[in-house]
Structures are given as structure tokens and as C-alpha cells.
């Protein structure tokens, strides 16, 4: 294995070990004994991380495409296992399975949880859960703008930064863009903290929810999620910041450097994404009015919050939207798979793939009508090449196949069909809540068997890593020199 892979994983583990000190300090200040769990976890993570770095110190580092795959998968798996240690070592008798499930759900910003009675949990635990999603969110963006286009995963070669066309290696230019993205990520998080605080949350609650809103993660400080606050203003604020987290972060950079400030309207993903989100919100409000008549503004708010929460793969809840009527389950199931934009913290299919699929279907329809005509497909100012379209088609096929296989596997653990298919969808799309009475918006994943949780762990990881990043490991040619 290339030394840079081990060195990078070691560096990430050591950094996470240092981050354990933050929730540990919070628990110490609140006289909570669980600070010891964070201290023990920190010692283990730092020791292993530094050991890996020392083993590879002084080696020549050069990142190839195969190393990129190994680095991406290895870092996410290693960080998920390390992040689970404080939960496992705590005094709350959390099993290793539940601890790993919570850490993977956090880092992949899925938001599914096995924890209950969140209001009585130590503040250090609540902070660590939110930190996992915040860290995972920025990690997802960096992966989307640097590694995935470089690895040509699932059509991501379509999503190239205008700042650099060189994807044969990770360039300093890309590192500069990632640093700017991190700055924007921090500023949006701070703006969200201030907004929530000004609307009635405590500073601690505002910090937790800001980190899980911008990362489109959905972890909360209460079992009732944002519904606990019973504040329409907070729900509207969440809608704004969830959408902010689901937009391409490179567009923020172009917006700040564009003299005419048209970056958002000219972006190939942003305008279509916002258009179909608004249309879906309106359809949801109309459907809600038909089945549960109330003030139109209340219906619009409830629809906007629920639709944006699912379509951005955040997973917050203000109530049980499955009670809207018989068609609500189908409505939200399809929303689960859509997702936000590439280059954002959202999961799902992504807006650019939906657009590419639409253009591909339209092109085939035109060819059936006029077989001798030539049509050039474009996504914004980018040409939709045969290679990129094949990647998009295959991504969609693998996504649906994964949904079917994980549903089948969950059904074999004894889970009913609705819970199985919705759990599979929510894991591969990194959304959070599923459908049904067990894992719906008012339930948790705690009642599921250990086997089901490990299956969902795999689903969350392969969904976040865009499928092909993991599947390529099973190709014999991948391991040949």
C-alpha cells in the first residue's frame, strides 16, 4: 500500500483524537464522568495515528488513482471506527454495534440514530454527535470537489471546478479552493448559530443545530427534533440554512468573486434544484390542505420544512408527515432518493445526475423521431460526453440495484417490507428517517437487530462514497500492479 494512504489515515486519526478533547472539556465543566471515555478514546486514536505516521515518515508521496480509492475508503472507515470509541467506552452501556452505527450515521451526515432520551444525555455526547456531522459535511464537500472528479466516480467528471482542469493529480490550486470552501462553511455555520440563538434557542442548542443544519445531517438535542421548540420562525430559519448547505459550495466562491453576482442563477445545478424544490413544496402544501385543512401559511410552512428536510437529506422532523394522508409515504419515499447538488453536503442522486438523465432521455426520444439528426447534449457550459453519460446511467443502475439488495438483506433479518425498503433508501441516500412506525420520523433505529444495523452501516458508507469507490475494490484488476 502506498505510504501516503497510511500517513493520511494516521494524520486523520490523530486529529480526531485531539478533537475528543472538546467534548471532554464540556463534560468536565458539567461534572459528568463520561469525560473519561473521551480521554481514553483520545489516547488510543493519537497513539495509533502517530504510529502510522512514523511508519511512513520520510517516504516519497505520490497519489495515483488506485491510491485515491484506497485513501477515500480507508479514511472514512478508520474515522468511523475511531469516532465510535467514546460512545462504546461510556457509562451508558452502548453496544459496539450501536456505537459504530451512530458514528457512521454522523460522519456520513445520514442522521439515523439508535439513541433515545436525548434530552437527558450528557452535553459532551450531544456535542460530539453534532461535531461528527459537521466534520463529515466538510469532508463530503472536499471529497466531491477534489477526489471524486479525479477518480471519475459516477459521472463526477462532469462536476469539475472552473479553477482547475487538471484532474490527473491533486493540485495546489484545488487545495486553495478547498481552503476557501472551509472558510465559507465556517461562516455559514456561524450565521446559523446566531440566527437560531436570536430565535430562542440556548447558545448550546443553537451550536448543535447549526452544525447539523449546515452539514444537512439532522442530529438534534431532543427526540422530537426541531419539533421540540414549537417555533415556526426556527423552522423557517432551518429551511433557509438546509438549502444553503445543499447548494454547491464552489458556487459560493464564484459568487464572492463575480462582479455581476450571477453565479447562482447561471450555475447548471442551482436554478433547476431550487425550481423543483419550490414546485414540490407547493404540491406538498396543496396535498396537505386537501387532507388536513388549516391556515394556508401553516400548510406552506409544514410542507416547506418537511420537503426541504428530506430533499436536502437533512432528516429533521417537526411532526409525523406520514399522517398527512395515504399518499404521503410514496411522496416522501421518492423525495428521499433525490438529494441536493453535487459539491454540497447533501446525499442522494444529486441534481446534476437528474438533469443528465433527463437530457439523455430527451435525446433518445428525439433520435427515435429523427434518427438521422445530430444532437449535442450540454449541462450548463459542459458537454455531456458519452463517457460521462455512461457513468451517470451506471450510477443510477447501481443505486437502484443497491436499494433492492439492501432491502432484501434487511427483509431477511425479519424487518417488514415498508421498513426494509425505506431503511435501505434512507441509508444509501444518507437521509435519516425512514417510513413506518419503527424508523419513521418519530421513531429510531434502536429496535432493529444488530445484523440490520451492520447492513445499514454498509449502505450509509457506500451511498456516501458514491458506490463505485467501494465496488472497484472487488475488481481483480484493481489489485494488479
pLDDT of 170 reads 45
Q: Name which residue leads in pLDDT, 151 or 93.
A: 93
Residue 64 — left, alpha, or beta (φ > 0 → left; ψ -120 to 50 → alpha)? beta
Give the residue-averaged pLDDT of 99-105: 97
* pLDDT at residue 164 is higher than 70: no
User: Are residues 337 and 459 in contact, defined by beta-carbon separation less than 8 angstroms?
Assistant: no
Residue 287 Cα to chain centre, angstroms = 28
Q: Kindly report, residue by residue over 297-345, the tens digit of the pLDDT.
A: 999 999 999 999 999 999 998 888 888 877 888 889 999 999 999 889 9
- Cell numbers found for residue 419: 421498513
Give the residue-averaged pLDDT of 225-229: 93
Give the count of beta carbons closer than 10 Å to the beta carbon of residue 332: 26
Residue 132 Cα to chain centre, angstroms = 11
User: Are residues 341 and 264 in contact, defined by beta-carbon separation less than 8 angstroms?
Assistant: no
Strand 378-379 relative to strand 382-383, pairing = antiparallel
DSSP-derived 3-state class of residue 12:
helix
Provide the pLDDT confidence category of residue 388 given band limits of 50, 70 and 90: confident
CA angle 333/335/339 to nearest 5° reads 130
User: Are residues 197 and 156 in contact, defined by beta-carbon separation less than 8 angstroms?
Assistant: no
Mutual angle of helices 172-198 and 249-257, in 10-degree steps: 90
User: Are residues 441 and 84 in contact, defined by beta-carbon separation less than 8 angstroms?
Assistant: no
Provide the pLDDT confidence category of residue 163 given band limits of 50, 70 and 90: very low
- Residue 382 has phi, psi (to 5 degrees) of -105, 140
* pLDDT at residue 171 is higher than 70: no
Euclidean distance between CA atoms 15 and 113, whole angstroms: 25
pLDDT of 76 reads 95
Q: Kindly report, residue by residue over 229-277, the tens digit of the pLDDT.
A: 999 999 999 999 999 999 999 889 888 887 667 777 778 889 999 999 9
* Helix, strand, coil percent values for the chain (each to nearest 5): 70, 0, 30
- Cell numbers found for residue 1: 500500500
pLDDT of 401 reads 96
Mean per-residue pLDDT over the chain, rounded: 88
pLDDT of 1 reads 65
pLDDT of 474 reads 85
Give the residue-averaged pLDDT of 35-45: 96
DSSP-derived 3-state class of residue 58:
coil
pLDDT of 162 reads 42
User: Please, what sign has the CA dihedral across residues 132, 38, 123, 459?
Assistant: positive
pLDDT of 404 reads 96
How far is residue 135 from each of residues 5, 186, 217, 437, measured CA to CA in Å? 20, 11, 11, 31
**Reduced 3-state DSSP string for 395-455:** HHHHHHHHHHHHHHHHHCCCCCHHHHHHHHHHHHCCCCCCCHHHHCCCCCCCCCCHHHHHH
Give the count of beta carbons closer than 10 Å to the beta carbon of residue 414: 11
Q: Kindly report, residue by residue over 358-377, the tens digit of the pLDDT.
A: 888 888 888 888 777 666 77
Q: Kindly report, residue by residue over 433-465, the tens digit of the pLDDT.
A: 888 888 988 889 999 999 999 999 999 999 999
For the entire predicted model, the pTM comes to: 0.92
- Cell numbers found for residue 442: 418519530
Q: Kindly report, residue by residue over 42-63, the tens digit of the pLDDT.
A: 999 999 999 999 988 876 666 7
Q: Name which residue leads in pLDDT, 349 or 380.
A: 349
Mutual angle of helices 21-29 and 123-142, in 10-degree steps: 160
Q: Kindly report, residue by residue over 111-158, the tens digit of the pLDDT.
A: 999 998 998 899 999 999 999 999 999 999 888 887 777 777 766 766
Place of cell 480507508: 74
Give the residue-averaged pLDDT of 383-393: 83
- Cell numbers found for residue 91: 457509562
Provide the pLDDT confidence category of residue 207 given band limits of 50, 70 and 90: very high
Instruction: Indicate the domain borders of the chain.
Output: 3-253
CA angle 314/189/237 to nearest 5° reads 60
**Reduced 3-state DSSP string for 205-228:** HHHHHHHHHHCCCCCCCCCCHHHH
How far is residue 50 from each of residues 7, 12, 85, 128, 376, measured CA to CA in Å? 9, 10, 18, 22, 52
Amino acid at each position: 500500500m502506498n505510504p501516503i494512504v497510511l500517513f493520511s489515515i494516521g494524520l486523520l486519526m490523530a486529529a480526531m483524537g485531539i478533537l475528543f478533547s472538546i467534548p471532554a472539556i464540556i463534560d468536565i465543566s458539567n461534572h459528568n464522568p463520561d469525560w473519561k471515555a473521551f480521554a481514553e478514546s483520545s489516547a488510543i486514536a493519537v497513539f495509533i495515528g502517530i504510529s502510522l505516521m512514523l511508519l511512513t515518515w520520510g517516504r516519497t508521496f505520490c497519489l495515483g488513482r488506485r491510491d485515491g480509492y484506497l485513501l477515500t475508503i480507508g479514511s472514512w472507515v478508520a474515522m468511523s471506527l475511531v469516532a465510535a470509541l467514546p460512545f462504546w467506552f461510556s457509562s451508558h452501556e452502548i453496544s459496539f454495534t450501536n456505537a459504530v452505527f451512530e458514528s457512521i450515521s454522523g460522519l456520513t451526515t445520514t442522521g439515523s440514530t439508535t439513541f433515545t432520551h436525548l434530552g437527558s444525555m450528557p452535553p459532551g455526547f450531544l456535542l460530539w454527535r453534532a461535531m461528527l456531522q459537521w466534520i463529515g459535511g466538510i469532508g463530503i464537500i472536499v471529497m466531491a470537489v477534489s477526489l471524486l472528479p479525479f477518480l471519475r466516480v459516477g459521472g463526477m467528471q462532469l462536476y469539475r471546478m472552473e479553477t482547475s482542469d487538471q484532474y490527473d493529480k491533486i493540485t495546489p490550486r484545488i487545495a486553495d479552493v478547498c481552503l476557501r470552501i472551509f472558510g465559507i462553511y465556517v461562516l455559514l455555520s456561524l450565521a446559523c448559530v446566531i440566527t437560531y440563538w436570536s430565535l430562542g434557542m440556548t447558545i448550546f442548542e443553537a451550536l448543535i443545530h447549526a452544525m447539523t443544519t449546515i452539514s444537512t445531517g439532522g442530529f438534534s438535542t431532543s427526540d422530537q427534533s426541531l419539533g421540540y421548540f414549537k417555533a415556526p420562525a426556527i423552522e423557517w430559519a432551518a429551511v433557509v440554512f438546509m438549502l444553503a448547505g445543499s447548494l454547491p459550495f464552489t458556487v459560493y466562491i464564484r459568487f464572492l468573486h463575480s462582479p455581476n453576482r450571477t453565479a447562482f442563477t447561471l450555475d447548471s445545478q442551482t436554478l433547476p434544484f431550487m425550481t423543483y424544490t419550490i414546485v414540490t413544496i407547493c404540491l406538498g402544501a396543496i396535498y396537505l390542505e386537501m387532507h388536513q385543512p388549516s391556515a394556508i401559511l401553516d400548510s406552506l410552512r409544514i410542507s416547506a420544512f418537511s420537503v426541504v428536510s428530506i430533499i436536502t437529506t437533512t432528516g429533521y422532523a417537526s411532526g409525523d408527515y406520514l399522517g398527512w394522508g395515504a399518499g404521503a409515504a410514496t411522496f416522501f419515499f421518492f423525495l428521499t432518493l433525490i438529494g441536493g447538488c453535487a459539491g454540497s453536503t447533501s446525499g442522494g442522486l444529486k441534481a446534476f445526475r437528474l438533469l443528465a438523465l433527463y437530457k439523455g432521455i430527451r435525446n433518445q426520444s428525439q433520435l427515435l423521431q429523427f434518427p438521422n439528426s445530430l444532437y449535442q447534449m450540454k449541462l450548463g457550459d459542459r458537454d455531456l460526453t458519452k463517457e460521462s453519460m455512461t457513468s451517470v446511467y451506471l450510477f443510477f443502475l447501481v443505486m437502484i440495484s443497491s436499494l433492492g439488495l439492501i432491502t432484501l438483506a434487511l427483509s431477511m433479518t425479519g424487518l417488514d417490507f415498508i421498513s426494509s425498503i425505506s431503511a435501505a433508501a434512507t441509508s444509501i441516500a444518507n437521509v435519516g428517517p425512514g417510513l413506518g412506525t419503527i424508523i419513521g420520523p418519530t421513531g429510531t433505529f434502536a429496535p432493529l437487530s444488530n445484523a440490520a444495523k451492520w447492513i445499514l452501516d454498509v449502505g450509509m458508507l457506500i451511498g456516501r462514497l458514491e458506490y463505485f469507490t467501494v465496488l472497484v475494490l472487488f475488481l481483480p484488476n484493481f489489485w494488479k500492479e
